[in-house]
Structure 1
């Protein structure tokens, strides 16, 4: 098959409209049809990230899209990643490596440099692949961000590519979203939009048709697809945490929803486990009794540790342990379990040192260099393999590390308390390994023969969304071919 667009951009009327899923679906459909396709997101703001084969860091959604395309994730697929560390500041990652910490105003000035990096990565991918499917960020209707835009229409104009616009009908106001977005664009930007996609529809399509007819008459642009609301998908979220819902399992796992929580996709396999009831507990919510408490990763460990203490989690954890519960700390959560966390250089926030929760005999010092690695090894508490990835700036030391949780290529990793109630690790994605997931749940007290294979669930979900989006891909194939690059 020859796809008519060498580059196609998917933009949304809002955040979480479904851009990431549509890009993943198109990548999977085109791959199935023999097209050499690659995903691309010029700029991403997310705390869910992945480590690439070239030793870089990109948004988690782009790693998922790479899997959909049958590719190994590469830093060129997301050349600019912003990881918020506060309400106004973020760590700026360019070509997979930390460039600087900037506030919003400084980054706005930096965008001209960032755009050069974006175009470099795009040119490399364009030279290697037949088709580049690009994901926008947020919405192109954000007027305050149009100057020096590199994430939406600014990029589309720079590379002269067509755009499809996605809106989430489940939120309501879908036609206003489309019309309002168009009204905020320049004439040349409006002309780039070749059609609309209505996402997450549930109901009688015939009742929607009058609205579709009106939209097409009003804009002279086609509605290319109406995609259904799909339940039970196992796809890595770009950033947002789903609201807490009662699970069906009897084994209770509680995760504090830290203000700067990172890589909450670590817990997707637990959410999918039929014997597990996983709860993210937000600020001010009641904290239910748990069999297992997990402290997640954090982009600002000391600030989230202060929040944890202010919210009264320290007393909750003490009680949880007294009654025989287990605790796992991952990355920033692991650092919190020690006796202190030091950041004298102010790498994640104001300089200083914080007392930890004191559950593991170790201290952590923040370092300027970020450790990025994909790893494989084995559990020390069970005969089980583990794999995952490390993304952290802190370095930990202390007696607790002499009783490691894992062995990675001959080196000790993580820690376990002497009473074996507390386990800490720098490994993200450790529940993705079926053997490690089962072993960790057994360690925590779940006696179950059920095995959750995150990779298989992800592949089945990608095939499901590809099947739904195949007509969209066919419809795109029939549109007017763009001018030669």
Structure 2
């Protein structure tokens, strides 16, 4: 039976996902067979697994850190927000239901059995399972029926390490305050703490560590300095997308849609030295000096199309095209570029049709069946091979599909305007293919010498070395425990 330990945060975005990835690679380098696990995640940035399911993008990165193939058991419950009050619920990789937040709270206890099933299957194939929590256990109003933090830790019998984010300030209160609001039994599950994102000399916080340890009676696993190369790793949240520190002359403008989804297409582009990826927040115009406007995927295409128009981005986009600029739409962005989006069954809301941006002569019809597949394609202009994935509802057809620019299994894929300046496709992840990315960027006069997958691997190794230096991984492994038997 594997050992397991859970990394929980004293707040959201304390860096749990990255710490788990780095710890996983560090333990793999020590010769351990490691698996990542997150009972519940909330993200529209999903990855398609080899077993035909979907998990959070962060768990796919952690699987890579473990040198494992991503599997739906690594994230058995994935919440994909479709509105401010509801989300699609993915259970063990497959769509389970679409529920309002209140209804999901009622349904959570019924999801604990599949969560534990997935966890124990991973335990059977690993020496160590690194579990990532969600949000914070200090949100005690959510403790009843919890499957993401202490509820899971209690059910599975897994010890916990609590992580605080010193970059936000108030980290002593984060850690000590969490202990203060937890029940004695939940607080007893926490076996140690760590501080993340320190800028400067970590020894300057020695007195702070003493205060936390003295007040909580928990041992410190260390103070982790800011990891400057974090931008090189795939981002789970669009706010973490960052270009190369120096940026480049080719500006790619990306409107931030309200339900932006599967934006991992941006990660390889943001790592290119000759490219600057600029996320355009609502209320800002699309920049006039952009060489490419990339409209990303969306969890709610018609709703995000309305947001696109409300921001005046449709007007900006037309001006961009008139100036000779290029446009690329991926998945939901592809659907928006067409003449019409028909939703006869009301999958995304009220049944009906919505007029698209009209830059591609295609029409999309929404259907309830979701396409989930890992896909190999070739880039027709050069023959470069592309590996990616599809994750969408809807079928798109029309005259501009005869100007396809990709080929999948001998069939044309995607669409293009007659002049080639406006393109769309359903294939996510295509920019991770070095040969394709180099060929595509060369059309803008931007040279690419980046080996993206190699860069990610090197960064994971550097992150592992960073944690080996600044965290007590020996203590972490001593504190890991044998989970409760199923």
Alignment-derived partner of residue 340 in structure 2 = 340
Q: Give the C-alpha shift of residue 482 in structure 1.
A: 5.8
Q: Give the C-alpha shift of residue 5 in structure 1.
A: 7.1
Distance 1:281 1:480 in 2: 43
Distance 1:65 1:362 in 2: 38
Q: Give the C-alpha shift of residue 349 in structure 1.
A: 2.8
Alignment-derived partner of residue 284 in structure 1 = 283
Alignment-derived partner of residue 186 in structure 1 = 183
Whether the 8 Å CA contact 2:257–2:304 is kept in 1: the answer is yes
Alignment-derived partner of residue 120 in structure 2 = 123
Q: Does 1:159 align with 2:156?
A: yes
Alignment-derived partner of residue 457 in structure 2 = 459
Q: Number of matched residues?
A: 480
Q: TM-score under structure 1 normalisation?
A: 0.96
Q: Does 1:472 align with 2:472?
A: yes
Whether the 8 Å CA contact 1:388–1:428 is kept in 2: the answer is yes
Q: Give the C-alpha shift of residue 483 in structure 1.
A: 8.4
Distance 1:249 1:483 in 2: 49
Alignment-derived partner of residue 256 in structure 1 = 255
Alignment-derived partner of residue 15 in structure 2 = 18
Distance 2:480 2:242 in 1: 45
Alignment-derived partner of residue 419 in structure 2 = 419
Q: Does 1:269 align with 2:268?
A: yes
Alignment-derived partner of residue 438 in structure 2 = 438
Distance 2:132 2:372 in 1: 25
Offset from partner CA, 1:236-287 (integer Å, 9 cap, x none) = 2222423777852111110000111012221011111111111000011243
The alpha-carbon distance between structure 1 residues 323 and 166, as it changes in their structure 2 partners (threshold 3 A), is same
Q: Give the C-alpha shift of residue 124 in structure 1.
A: 1.1
Q: 348-357 or 474-483, which moves further after superposition?
A: 474-483
Whether the 8 Å CA contact 1:336–1:356 is kept in 2: the answer is yes
Residue of 66, 76, 80 corresponding to 2:77: 80
Whether the 8 Å CA contact 1:141–1:184 is kept in 2: the answer is yes
1:127-146 residue pairs with structure 2 within 5 A?
127-146=124-143
Distance 1:266 1:379 in 2: 16
Question: Unaligned 5+ residue runs, structure 2?
Answer: none
Distance 2:76 2:401 in 1: 35
Distance 2:130 2:7 in 1: 7
Distance 2:396 2:248 in 1: 35
Offset from partner CA, 1:332-378 (integer Å, 9 cap, x none) = 00000101112232222333321000111111111111101111121
Q: Give the C-alpha shift of residue 383 in structure 1.
A: 3.1
Distance 1:447 1:167 in 2: 41
Alignment-derived partner of residue 392 in structure 2 = 392
Whether the 8 Å CA contact 1:271–1:277 is kept in 2: the answer is yes
The alpha-carbon distance between structure 1 residues 481 and 160, as it changes in their structure 2 partners (threshold 3 A), is closer
Q: Give the C-alpha shift of residue 484 in structure 1.
A: 7.9
Whether the 8 Å CA contact 2:158–2:483 is kept in 1: the answer is no
User: RMSD of the TM alignment (CA)?
Assistant: 1.7
Distance 1:348 1:92 in 2: 15
Offset from partner CA, 1:128-182 (integer Å, 9 cap, x none) = 2121111000111112211100000000000111000111111111111111111
Q: Give the C-alpha shift of residue 207 in structure 1.
A: 2.0
Q: Does 1:34 align with 2:31?
A: yes
Alignment-derived partner of residue 3 in structure 2 = 6
Q: TM-score under structure 2 normalisation?
A: 0.95
Whether the 8 Å CA contact 2:235–2:264 is kept in 1: the answer is yes
1:34-113 residue pairs with structure 2 within 5 A?
34-113=31-110
Q: Give the C-alpha shift of residue 479 in structure 1.
A: 4.1
